[in-house]
Amino acid sequence: MPPRPSLHSLLLMAASAAAASGDSGPLLAARRRLAATAAAGGHRIRLLHSFSPGRVPRRPEVVCCVRSAPDSRRSAPAPPCSRNVLSAKNYSTASEERLGKIIQKLKNEGINPKQWRLGNFQRMLCPQCNGGSSEELSLSVYIRKDGINATWNCFRSKCGWRGFVQADGVTNISQGKSGIESETDQEVEAKKAANKVYRKISDEDLNLEPLCDELVEYFATRMISAETLRRNKVMQRNWNNKISIAFTYRRDGALVGCKYRAVDKTFSQEANTEKIFYGLDDIKRAHDVIIVEGEIDKLSMDEAGYRNCVSVPDGAPPKVSSKIPDQEQDKKYSYLWNCKDYLDSASRIILATDNDRPGQALAEELARRLGKERCWRVNWPKKNDTDTCKDANEVLMFLGPQALRKVIEDAELYPIRGLFSFEQFFPEIDNYFLGIHGDELGIHTGWKSMDDLYKVVPGELTVVTGVPNSGKSEWIDALLCNINKQSGWKFVLCSMENKVKEHARKLLEKHIQKPFFNARYGGSAQRMTPDEFEAGKQWCEDDSLPSINWVLDLAKAAVLRHGVRGLVIDPYNELDHQRPSNQTETEYVSQILTKIKRFAQHHSCHVWFVAHPRQLQNWNGGPPNIYDISGSAHFINKCDNGIVIHRNRDPNAGPLDTVQVCVRKVRNKVVGQIGDAFLTYDRVTGEFKDAGKATTAPSAKAAKQSRKEAYKMPFQHAAEDGENSGL
Task: Read off the pLDDT band of 719 (50, 70, 90).
Answer: very low
Q: Are 7 and 45 in contact (CB under 8 A)?
A: yes
Q: Write 46-50 long-range contacts (CB < 8 A, 24+).
A: 47/10, 47/11, 47/14, 49/17
Element (H, E) at 610: strand 606-610
CA 527 – CA 45 distance, rounded (Å):
103
- Position 246 pLDDT exceeds 60: yes
CA 257 – CA 247 distance, rounded (Å):
9
CA 452 – CA 677 distance, rounded (Å):
10
pLDDT the model gives residue 723: 39
Cβ-based neighbour number of residue 237 at 10 Å: 17
pLDDT the model gives residue 710: 40
Q: What is the arithmetic mean of pLDDT over 263-289?
A: 90
Q: Are 677 and 450 in contact (CB under 8 A)?
A: yes
Query: Is residue 351 packed enough to be buried (19+ CB in 10 Å), middle (13-18) or exposed (0-12)?
Result: buried
CA angle, 409 then 412 then 418, to 5°? 170
Higher pLDDT, 30 or 480: 480
Q: Are 180 and 190 in contact (CB under 8 A)?
A: no
Burial annotation 261-284 (CB, 10 A radius, 16+ → b, else e) = beeeeebeebeebbbbbbbbbbbe
* Per-residue model confidence as pLDDT tens digits over 115-130: 777 777 888 888 888 8
Element (H, E) at 243: strand 242-251
Residue 529 DSSP symbol:
P
Q: Give, in order, the Cα–Cα distances in Å from 320 to each of 323, 357, 359, 366.
A: 9, 10, 10, 10
Q: Write 700-708 long-range contacts (CB < 8 A, 24+).
A: 700/676, 701/653, 702/648, 702/650, 702/653, 702/654, 703/622, 703/623, 703/660, 703/676, 706/620, 706/621, 706/622, 706/623, 707/622
**Percentage with pLDDT > 70 across the chain:** 68
Cβ-based neighbour number of residue 145 at 10 Å: 16
CA 218 – CA 211 distance, rounded (Å):
11
pLDDT the model gives residue 279: 96
Of the candidates 678, 600, 660, 655, the residue with the CA atom closest to the CA atom of residue 624? 660
CA 566 – CA 606 distance, rounded (Å):
5
Beta strands in 475-565 (DSSP E): 491-495, 544-545
CA angle, 709 then 711 then 716, to 5°? 140
* Per-residue model confidence as pLDDT tens digits over 583-608: 888 888 888 888 888 888 888 899 99
* Per-residue model confidence as pLDDT tens digits over 334-345: 999 999 999 998
Amino acid of residue 173: I
Whether residue 698 is preceded by a cis peptide bond, meaning omega within 30 degrees of 0, is no
Amino acid of residue 297: D
Sequence-distant (6+) residues with CB within 8 A of 260 are 237, 244, 245, 246, 247, 267, 268, 269
Higher pLDDT, 62 or 190: 190
Element (H, E) at 348: strand 348-352
pLDDT the model gives residue 179: 34
Residue count (the chain):
727
> Which phi and psi angles does 592 have, rounded to 5°?
-65, -45
3-state secondary structure of 59: coil
The model scores a pTM over 0.85: no
pLDDT the model gives residue 544: 41
pLDDT the model gives residue 641: 93
CA 150 – CA 120 distance, rounded (Å):
11
Task: Decide the pairing of beta strands 208-209 and 162-166.
Answer: unpaired
Q: What is the arithmetic mean of pLDDT over 569-583?
A: 74
**Percentage with pLDDT > 90 across the chain:** 28
Q: What is the arithmetic mean of pLDDT over 206-225?
A: 94
Query: Is residue 378 packed enough to be buried (19+ CB in 10 Å), middle (13-18) or exposed (0-12)?
Result: buried
530-543 vs 500-512: helix crossing angle, rounded to 10: 110
Task: Read off the pLDDT band of 354 (50, 70, 90).
Answer: very high
pLDDT the model gives residue 652: 75
Higher pLDDT, 599 or 66: 599
Q: Are 68 and 43 in contact (CB under 8 A)?
A: yes
- Position 178 pLDDT exceeds 70: no
- Position 443 pLDDT exceeds 70: yes
pLDDT the model gives residue 325: 83
Task: Read off the pLDDT band of 318 (50, 70, 90).
Answer: confident
C-alpha dihedral sign at 579, 580, 581, 587: negative
* Per-residue model confidence as pLDDT tens digits over 373-425: 899 999 999 999 899 999 999 999 999 999 999 999 999 989 887 677 777 77
Of the candidates 517, 452, 475, the residue with the CA atom closest to the CA atom of residue 608? 475
Residue 186 DSSP symbol:
H
Residue 613 DSSP symbol:
B
Residue-by-residue DSSP string for 554-570: HHHHHHHHH---EEEEE
Query: 31-40, 107-116, 457-466: which range is least confident on average?
Result: 31-40
Q: Write 562-565 long-range contacts (CB < 8 A, 24+).
A: 562/490, 562/492, 563/490, 564/490, 564/491, 564/492, 564/605, 565/458, 565/489, 565/490, 565/491, 565/604, 565/605, 565/606
What stretches of 172-270 show up as alpha helix (H) in DSSP? 175-178, 185-194, 213-221, 226-231
The full set of domains in the chain, from first to last, is: 91-166 (2.20.25), 208-413 (3.40.1360.10), 461-494+548-710 (3.40.50.300), 497-544 (no CATH)
* Per-residue model confidence as pLDDT tens digits over 647-682: 887 777 777 778 999 999 999 988 899 999 999 888
Q: Give, in order, the Cα–Cα distances in Å from 5 to each of 1, 11, 20, 383.
A: 12, 10, 21, 78
